[in-house]
Amino acid sequence: MRALLALWDRLSLYLPITLMGLLALGTYWLVESTPVRREPVPERVVRHEPDYFMKGFSVRTFVESGRIKSEVYGAAARHYPDTETLEIDAVRILSFDDRGRLTTATANRALTNRDGSEVQLFGRAQIVRDAQRGPAGQITPRIEFRGEFLHAYLKADRVVSNRPVEIRRGRDVFLADTMDYDNLRQTMVMQGRVKGTLVPAAAR
């Protein structure tokens, strides 16, 4: 009997600790198994704000052989990460094709896409392509586009505008409300009020 009482006394000493341990384990299990209501995370609003600036800059790109491919001058530039575009003030772009023939573009402002394959020119926009000699030796006259807006697709070799433009090809002059010039196909579509002045070959 005394032995049983002594055993009970010992057990009674550890009983509160055991109960506290069981209670702690039960509380932990309850917390882990209870579903937690998560508040929806609001979508991050992407603002049209530049992430870097450049001033009074000049950027050159080269082909693998080391020949210059293009050079861009600007008074200031702003890069917008939300649209992956670069906006350039007082822009001047020099572009050389595979045969080294030069095309120059200038404007009050330009907007280029991520890979530079498209350039939109705003305000006193001008694109000039120097006279070229074709594979058969024929001469393609100097061609110039002027307007308040010109959209150049460099890879497709096209110049498009949905606003009035002036086109000078050699000494010939054309005016139109809209234009789509495709150099690869050697076609030019002019619409709206189209006017043209053609100079005879003998007078060129």
Q: What is the pLDDT of residue 19?
A: 46
Kindly compute the dihedral angle of the four CA atoms of residues 102, 104, 110, 113, in this order, to the nearest 10 degrees: -10
Report whether CATH 2.60.450.10 matches the domain 52-203: yes
The pLDDT value recorded for residue 3 is 47
3 state SS for 67-114: CEEEEEEEEEEEEECCCCEEEEEEEEEEEECCCCCEEEEEEEEEEECC
Q: What is the pLDDT of residue 179?
A: 95
State how far the alpha carbon of 39 is from the alpha carbons of 35, 36, 44, in Å. Answer: 13, 10, 15
pLDDT at residue number 35:
56
**Along the 204 residues of the chain, how does pLDDT read in single tens digits?**
554 445 445 544 444 544 455 445 444 444 455 555 566 666 666 677 888 889 998 988 888 888 888 889 999 999 999 888 999 999 999 988 777 788 899 999 999 988 888 999 999 999 998 887 766 777 888 899 999 999 999 888 899 999 999 999 988 999 999 999 998 888 999 999 999 998 887 655
Using DSSP, state whether 183 is helix, strand or coil. coil
Torsion of CA 86, 87, 89, 91, to 10 degrees: 50
Q: What is the pLDDT of residue 41?
A: 62
For the chain, give every domain's residue range: 1-32, 52-203
With tokens 């055991």, the residue in question is: 18
The whole-model pTM stands at: 0.72
Cβ proximity of 127 and 163 under 8 Å: no
